[in-house]
Structure formats: C-alpha cells, structure tokens
Chain A
C-alpha cells in the first residue's frame, strides 16, 4: 500500500534518475515539476496543497500576473463602501516563504501540451511534468456591441481589483435620484448569486445615502439564478429601490450616454455595470483545449485533465461544470485539492482516487452585515463519470441573518488562509 513514505521514496528514486530522464528528450530535472497558471482560488490552493501533500518533494512554480491576490467573493462589500480593497487582498508571500512555491509574477502566454512547456512574457519558456491551469474567465466583449474598450466608463467589476474600486467610485459620484443599472449575462457565468448580492449591497448604500435612487437589475435570464426566494425577499425589503427585470436581452451599449439597448427597451443610467458574457480564460482557448459550446473546458473528473490532453489539469470557473456545480471560489478550491491529489498520485505512478468528493458553500450579503448561504455536496458517480449533487444534502438559509454574516467573514478568512497561508 502506498503511503507518504513510499511516495517520497519513489520521488527520491526519480531524483536519482534525473540524468537518465534527460535521454527522454526533455529538460533534465532532478524532481517532478508542476507549473500552476493562475493564482486565484483554484491555482493558489493547488500550489500550496501540491507542496504540502508532497512534503516538498515536488517542485511547484506558480505563474500569476497580479502581485497580490484580490478576492472576488466579498468584493461587492467594497462596491458598497463597507470594506476597502486592502481588506480583500492577500499577499502571495507565504506561498514562497512557508511552502516553497516558486512564484513568478508574469503572464503565461501559451501552452504547448505536446512538448509540455509554458511560455511567459518575461520569464521565457518553462518545462513541466504536469500543468495545473486555473485561468479563470475572460469576457466575450465582442458579444455586446459598444462595450469593447469601454470598461473604464462601463465597469464590469467582475474581476476584483481596480475595476471594483472604479465601480465604487462611480456609485459614490452618482447623484441622489440616479439610476444604477446592471446587466446579468445568461448562465453559466462566474458566481451565480453575485449580481443579486451586488444589487442588494448597492441598494443598501443608496438607501442610506441617496434614497431617491434606483437599482435596475436587467437580467438576461428568465429568473434569479441562485438563492431565488431569499433574494426575492431581500429585493422586496428595499421596496422601490430595486427593480428586477428578467428576460432582458442586451443588444448593445453606448458608453458616452451610458445607455443600454435591450430587445424591447432602451435604458439610460448614471452608472452602467455590464457583466459581459464570459468563457474560460483565453489561454485555455489558445491552447486548443476541448471546449463545450466553445466556452468551457471539458475535463475528466477523476484527474481534472482536459479531455484528451494528458498532463493538463484544469480548475475553477474555466470548467464545463458538473450538474449543479456553481462557478464559485469555494468550488475552485475544492477542484484544486482534487487535482493536487490526482497529480501526486499520477506522478507516483498511481491511479487517481476513484471516489472524490467536493462541497460548495457560498455566502451572499443582502446588506452590510446580514448574509444568506447556499451549500451543496457532490459525490463522484462512476456511471455518469462526474460528480453529482447528493440528494437530500445541501440547501439554503432559512432567512438572512447577522450570524451568517459573521460566518461569511470567517469563511473568507479561513479560505484565504487555506489557499495562501
């Protein structure tokens, strides 16, 4: 039976054979090398767990373009003015100092999965034995005429960072009596409850500071996509402050006038927050990985390798999700652990675990302190070859509460530590 010791022994054997490995035609390396692209909820977790679970026997390089991690979850509180960007930012330093991850602050530009190399902008070409790709999402900006090049005037704030601050600024600059309009793209998109949480948190700010204003939620979907009953109740609690309009197909936008052309209507807003349609991060698309509907990477759920592409393990929002599986940071963290375990097994010549389990927990704020949750547990189904939500498990809050608000902050603290400390 394989245990940690024999795994270590196996890897030590591999190290001794480093010279022979060179004969196979790749860069000789003393130890297995895993490259991780993307330091978000998925990639950062994978980098840490690969080092932790291998007890340092596997070299891990993390390529991340941003100098610090900024969390998308909790970022709506920054938009609402209840938190600062610094409160939702975490350094990558401990991944290096505590876990021995080699951190490269750079852009990964291309993957050659046949040669097992990654190209970067400033750090040349890196060879890998296995690649963990956690690229997040990129926007299909061209799908909304008028949007291209106008994210300063029409912020998406769907990747946390400067865009979050920009949307906050525009909300602050909005006059009392103004309209904050947001457009929600058709599912699937990153963070299903996120737009509705944003509507609530923005309304909470307006209620206190600009009560004659309005939040207009223009949803391309037929209904609220997550926590529907709870968000419906929260919207109602804001009275006329929030107007929810389902079936709102966005045809185009005009940045100069901040207006949105819908199928049957034209809306002019003081702040226009368009969350564009999205797909897997563009590096996944450029690498030629198999995509479902041209958007999401199709994977083998036991190893999380892209189908037909050995050695490229894909995580997080970029995936074609299994049934009932949301595109959430929490889920990306769980993907990362599944992938890390599989990568280490495969490096040791072992099959991956045949019965992985993943959970999701997602808190949303309905104001500055009260939160609601949705949770689910997903067990691998061998017949369906993918994880399936466990019937009778998971569920929603009974009502928004201050207690769950406290749990939401504790969740953030703990998951950030689980990834980065």
Chain B
C-alpha cells in the first residue's frame, strides 16, 4: 500500500503530466530558488509579523529601505548593534540569505 501511494500522483498532477500541461520550468535549481527570499523572510514572521507587519511590541520590517534593513542585520551579525537576541539569530544566516530577506521585506507595502 505504501509503495503504491509513493508513486501515485494526485489525479490533477497525473492529468497535467499526461497532457503535458507542465509549468514552465527552466531547471530544478532555478525553480526551487524562486521562493527562496519569501521562505527565508517567513522565518522572521513569528516575532516580526507576517510579511514583516508587526502586530505590536516588535519592529515592523515591511517596507523599510533595503539598505537600512541590511545594515541593521549585518550590525546584529557582527555584534556592533546591541541586542538581546537578534545578534544570536542573525549569525545563523549567510550574508546572501540576509540580503534576500532584506530585499523581500523592503518590497512589502509598509501597511497591509
């Protein structure tokens, strides 16, 4: 049963495959990366609100200038900006990942 379910596509996907109604994918890596910034920024939302819209008590990050966000994140990462927790969290991300996060959040409207 398990084996069967493993190879079974959902009917919709099976239909898509049969009829060749595939999606335009240039390659697995590119496709996988399409939502990388969104997914990385979602790791911030627990504290800073969905898409950076804070529900209160934490900084709202949506719509903040990209460079300013990046500057802050790097300052947390280096320890030059005092923090209770952000210095510990920022160190968990590569600079490239922080840049993607800053880019994504800065592109959100400041207000929902």
Query: Chain A residues in contact with chain B, CB under 8 A?
Result: 1-3, 6-7, 9-10, 13-14, 17-18, 20-26, 28-29, 32, 48-49, 52-53, 113-114, 116, 129-130, 308-311, 330, 333-334, 337-338, 341, 345, 347-359, 361, 373, 375-379, 390, 392-395, 397, 401, 403-404, 406-407, 409-411, 413-418, 421
Contact = CB atoms under 8 A, between A and B. Distances in A.
Contact of B84 (A22, A352, A404, A414): A404
B23 A348 contact: yes
Nearest to A24: B11
A330 B93 CA distance: 18
A418 B49 contact: yes
Given A1-B34, A413-B57, A415-B47, A350 B10 contact: no
A417 B23 contact: no
B2 interface: yes
B89 A375 contact: yes
Pick the most buried of B4, B12, B19, B24: most chain A CB atoms within 10 A of its CB. Answer: B12
Contacts of B97: 357
Contacts of B22: 349
A385 to B, nearest CB: 16
Contact of A17 (B4, B5, B21, B39): B21
Contact of B39 (A3, A337, A379, A394): A337
**Residue in A2, A345, A401, A421 whose Cβ sees the most chain B Cβ within 10 Å:** A2
5 contacts: A1-B30, A351-B32, A395-B88, A403-B84, A414-B58
B89 A359 contact: yes
Nearest to B90: A393
B29 A1 contact: no
Contact of B24 (A2, A14, A390, A416): A2
A340 B96 CA distance: 23
Given A1-B31, A359-B89, A333 B16 contact: no
Nearest to A371: B84
Contacts of B92: 357, 359, 376-379, 390, 393-394
A347 to B, nearest CB: 7
Given A17-B21, A377-B91, A351 B57 contact: no
A361 B89 contact: yes
A341 B88 contact: no
Contacts of A351: 28, 31-32
Interface residues of B, number: 56
A356 B88 contact: no
Interface string B21-56: 111111011111111101110110111111000111
A410 B57 contact: yes
Contacts of B11: 21-26, 28, 129
Contacts of A20: 15, 19
Interface of B: 1-2, 4-8, 10-17, 19, 21-26, 28-36, 38-40, 42-43, 45-50, 54-58, 84-85, 88-93, 97
A130 B9 CA distance: 10
A357 B88 CA distance: 15
Contact of B91 (A334, A392, A401): A392
Q: Is the interface of A mostly helix, strand, loop or mixed?
A: mixed
Given A413-B57, A418-B46, A349 B13 contact: yes
A126 to B, nearest CB: 14
A412 to B, nearest CB: 9
Contacts of B29: 354
A20 B92 CA distance: 47
Nearest to A396: B88
Contact of B56 (A373, A379, A414): A414
Contacts of A352: 32
B47 A410 contact: yes
Contacts of A417: 49-50, 55
B91 A415 contact: no
Contact of A130 (B10, B42, B43): B10
A357 B43 contact: yes
A350 B85 CA distance: 35
A361 B30 contact: no
A308 B6 contact: yes
Nearest to A398: B84
Contacts of A410: 47, 56-58
Given A1-B34, A353-B35, A393-B89, A21 B12 contact: yes
Given A3-B34, A345-B32, A379-B92, A358 B23 contact: no
Given A114-B5, A349-B22, A417-B50, A375 B88 contact: yes
Given A1-B31, A375-B85, A14 B16 contact: yes
Contacts of A355: 36
Given A53-B38, A353-B35, A375-B88, A409 B57 contact: yes
A372 to B, nearest CB: 10
Report which residue of A48, A341, A409 has the largest number of chain B beta carbons within 10 angstroms of its beta carbon: A341
